[in-house]
Structure 1
Amino acid sequence: MAESTDRFDASVRHALWSQRRLAIDPDRRVRVLVVDDNETAAEALSLALAEDDYETRYVFGGVSAIQLVSHWVPDIIILDINMPEYDGFETAHLLRCLVNTRNAGIIAFTALSAPDVARQGLPAGFDAYCQKGCTLDAITSLIDHLVVRQAR
């Protein structure tokens, strides 16, 4: 899918920004890491995605995300932007530098508008954007666009 032409429109609530596709074995659940400094939000999103049959983990910030991916490799990372220590842009950039997460799909999940995120998020390595307050279907739709079930 081509980059969204309306990605800098402030009314956009979710958008796919890259053509990245992750080949996943059809017998394996998609692994999703939720990174947010709001503990309640991170846990709630992780549990909701687990109910949709994703294998999920959640952490409370960029530093914890970098530590976790050394031993648990996600396919998709849902990443808040405004966090202490490493913000979402710094975290995305670092995740793109690591072998384990270099090719992971990274979705910005934030209250910030699409134009605010796109300016720094695209160079940092984000593949998609979802504004907080969107439905779970919007998030799972982005995940499903980034993942391709590949037959053996």
Structure 2
Amino acid sequence: MWTERRLAIERDRPVRVLVVDDNETAAEALSLALAEDGYETRYVFGGVSAIQLVSHWVPDIIALDINMPEYDGFETAHLLRCLVNTRNAGIIAFTALSAPDVARQGLPAGFDAYCQKGCSLDAITGLIQALIVRRAV
């Protein structure tokens, strides 16, 4: 928690995290857990909604599911990388798929990190902080 507070002070605002998942329960649960840990969060239920939201709310980090209708996570990550508001955001694949499956398509699509659904909150906040620090350097 200290790291999140320190980074928020240095940035004059909390770290913003967008959670994108077609599973409403999963999206809301992760968003609420991160908000309780000091992050400013929003959640949406698919790639189209994510693209729409980032036009007026710019996240620092995006936790993105892979298996979604309309645009899957790979397509969504690629589109987010093309937008000025999210070109430099950290994108985490937050999915039930295994790491090798995600790595094969994830890196070219624009993912920076991978976290399997069911991981601890500490694991995902560790990834978030690592991505924020890496981008601040």
TM-score by shorter chain over 0.5: yes
Give 1:146's aligned residue: 131
1:42 is aligned, of 21, 27, 30, to 27
Say if 2:53 is the partner of 1:68.
yes
Q: Separation in 1 of the partners of 2:12 and 2:48?
A: 31
Decide which of 84, 99, 116 is 2:84's aligned counterpart.
Answer: 99
4+ residue runs over 2 A deviation: 23-27
Letter in 2 for 1:54: Y
Higher-strand-fraction structure? 1
Opposite residue 115 of structure 1, the aligned amino acid is P
Aligned amino acid, residue 70 of structure 2: E
SS in 2 for 1:99: coil
* Number of residue pairs the alignment of both structures matches: 128
In the other structure, the counterpart of 2:17 is 32
List alignment gaps of at least 5 residues for structure 1: 1-22
Question: SS at the partner of 2:11?
Answer: coil
Residue of structure 1 aligned with 2:68, choices 43, 61, 83 = 83
**What is the letter of the counterpart of residue 40 of structure 1?**
T
Residue matched to 1:114: 99
Larger % of helix: which? 2
Give the Cα–Cα distance (whole angstroms) in 2 for the partners of residues 36 and 101 of structure 1.
17
Deviation at 1:28, TM superposition (A): 1.1
Cα distance in 2 for partners of 1:92, 1:147 equals 18
Residue type of the alignment partner of 1:86: Y
Unaligned runs of at least 5 residues, structure 2: 1-6
Give, as a single letter, the amino acid of the residue that structure 2 aligns with 1:137. D
Two-structure CA RMSD over aligned residues (Å): 1.5
